[in-house]
Structure 1
Amino acid sequence: MERQEWNKIFFIRSVKEYDVTDNPCCVIHILCRRGSMSFRFQNVHYNIAAGDYVILTNMSLASGFSESDDYEGITMGLSEPFVLSIAIRNNYGIIGHLSLLQNPVMKLSPPDFRKCSSDMERLRERLADKTHLFREEMLGYLLMAHILDLYDIHARGQAPRPVPERTAKLLQQFVDMLYGGEYITHRDVPYYASRLCVTPHYLSEICRKASGKPATYWIDRFTLHEIANLLCQKELTLTDIADRLHFSSVSYFSRYVKKQTGLYPTAYRNNLWKKSGE
């Protein structure tokens, strides 16, 4: 099938066709219909099979995509601003977002698989209709219905964690700061709490209530992902990496990596190279 696209929604044959430099603010949805696929996200290796639904909230955190010869799936890209403009009526979005940063794969039951497949096929079909006078509104409502289906599927598999509107806004601002790279120079909770005008304890508590993890977990998660990316660049020494991430010394950098991964940087680097096939 030919690539179908609009500046807010697009469908591609394979996620390997996606260029993050062309579409830096997109969320990628993948429904595996047949065969299998593997990839790395946040330095964790995933294998998916038929009936799995993947939501990659930030493609810069994903790599190493590989598909089986019999793989068949639907890959949909969504403009993040367009998704936000739909204004889903509840605050479950930030809960789901944090959860998907921990594990981007949802295992679908047969009824949920049929529902998601139907939702995505309907969106793809209507995307091709460029003569519709209310195309943007029509696609927006179809997408909203699909997102609410995904919220329902995800929430049924999670312990309920209601989040007030103010809390959801604070969490979104915190996550946006991490996506913006502020963990490169700041890895302490008080810094983020100060920027958000709350106490460090309050920030950690709302993170824990929404995701089951404290604020430090998310700071370390983003930091470790960047460390892994830099360790994969053979030309960079440990001193180079420690300097880029503003660690006070190589020894402190080494202790940090050991604490997070159980391995010192050189051993962790060797493991990453083995997994990437280098």
Structure 2
Amino acid sequence: MVFLCRKGNMGFTFQDTHYNISAGDYVILPNAALASNFSASDDFQGILMNLSEAFVTSIAIRSNYGIIGHLSLLRNPVMKLSERDFRICEAALQYLHMRMEDEKHFFREELLGSLLTAHILDLYDIHARSNKELQVSERITSLLRNFIELLYNGEYIRNRDLEFYASHLCITPHYLSEICKKVSGKPASYWIDRFTIQEITRLLRQKKLSLTEIAERMNFSSVSYFSRYVQKRIHLSPSEYRKDC
């Protein structure tokens, strides 16, 4: 899901962090299911686009920059645009919306894919211009893509040890943490914990589930170990978090 704020303000929560956006901000949510508590000012105007993961994945872009932007968006989904970049993004989204309505186009899917590809490359350019010092090889981006893919596939439920991921990628734990920190500013353990806590807090909001059931689902050896893990990372016990949510 993406939305471009044209006027007014909007607030929302993404991965337990609250964001407030205003005109000129572009929000890209890698996983819209993690966003909630949307509220908008009376004068809010924006452009919203919800694209299926299958469609976005089908677009073949010859660039490894995607994983860099993806990690950045997982940390903060809000991009602050210059006036020029705002106009470019606004025009692209408006044109995409218009062409989506043409359901009789014989090559509709290919057309929309090409338009979206052009827009994604513009977003890469915007991000790269604001991170000029970041130079990453194709080897590193490939390793990081595979690492994040393991997490998206739920491997963190079965394995939370850095050594497992490093071994799977045929590199050392130190090197995996080093390249993660270079690209995202955070070590590999941060991303393992982030995906884990993201799932734990989702389960805690389902109050019909007991702490024992959640600990078992997440493959913790005991409820006490599960509680210590949560307390250390969000500074609240599972019961305290559940009470507040």
Superposition TM-score, scaled by structure 2 size: 0.91
Residue 43 of structure 1: CA displacement? Answer: 1.6
Where structure 1 has 5 or more consecutive residues not aligned to the other structure, the ranges are: 1-27, 274-278
Structure 2 counterpart of 1:119: 92
1:110 to 75, 83, 88: 83
2:227 maps to 1:254: yes
Which among 9, 15, 20 is matched to residue 47 of structure 1? Answer: 20
Letter in 1 for 2:125: D
Larger helix share, 1 or 2 = 2
1:165 equivalent in structure 2: 138
1:200 is matched with 173
* Alpha-carbon offset, residue 78 of structure 1: 2.6
- Indicate the SS of the match to 1:30: strand
Matches within 5 A, 1:26-45: 28-45=1-18
4+ runs deviating over 6 angstroms: none
Say which SS state the counterpart of residue 73 (structure 2) adopts. helix
3-state SS of paired residue (2:6) = strand
Q: Is the 8 A contact 1:38 1:46 kept in 2?
A: yes
Matched residues in 1 for 2:137 and 2:186: separation?
18
User: What is aligned with 1:209?
Assistant: 182
Q: Which residue of 1 aligns with 2:74?
A: 101
Supply the RMSD in Å over aligned alpha carbons: 1.9
> Which residue identity lines up with residue 88 of structure 1 in the other structure?
I
Partner of 1:241: 214
Superposed, 1:51-70 pairs within 5 Å as 51-70=24-43
Residues 141-161 of structure 1 show CA distances to partners (whole Å, capped at 9, x for unaligned) of 222221111112222223532
Q: CA deviation at 1:102?
A: 0.3
Which letter maps to 2:82? S
- For the 8 Å contact 2:207–2:242, the answer to whether it is kept is no
Which digits, 9 at most, give the CA deviation of each residue in 1:123-144, with x for residues without a partner? 1122223444443333222222
The Cα of 1:74 is off from its aligned counterpart by: 1.0
Q: Which consecutive residues of structure 2, in runs of 5 or more, have no partner in the other structure?
A: none
Distance 2:40 2:151 in 1: 30
Tell me by how many angstroms 1:172 deviates.
Answer: 1.3
Per-residue deviation, residues 62-93 of structure 1 (Å, max 9, x unmatched) = 22323333322111123334334433232111
- The answer as to whether partners of 1:91 and 1:163 remain within 8 angstroms in 2 is no
Instruction: Evaluate the alpha carbon distance shift between residue 131 and residue 180 of structure 1 in structure 2; reply closer, same or farther with a 3 A threshold.
Output: same
| Secondary structure of residue in 2 paired with 1:40 | strand
State which of 169, 190, 196 in structure 1 corresponds to 2:163.
190
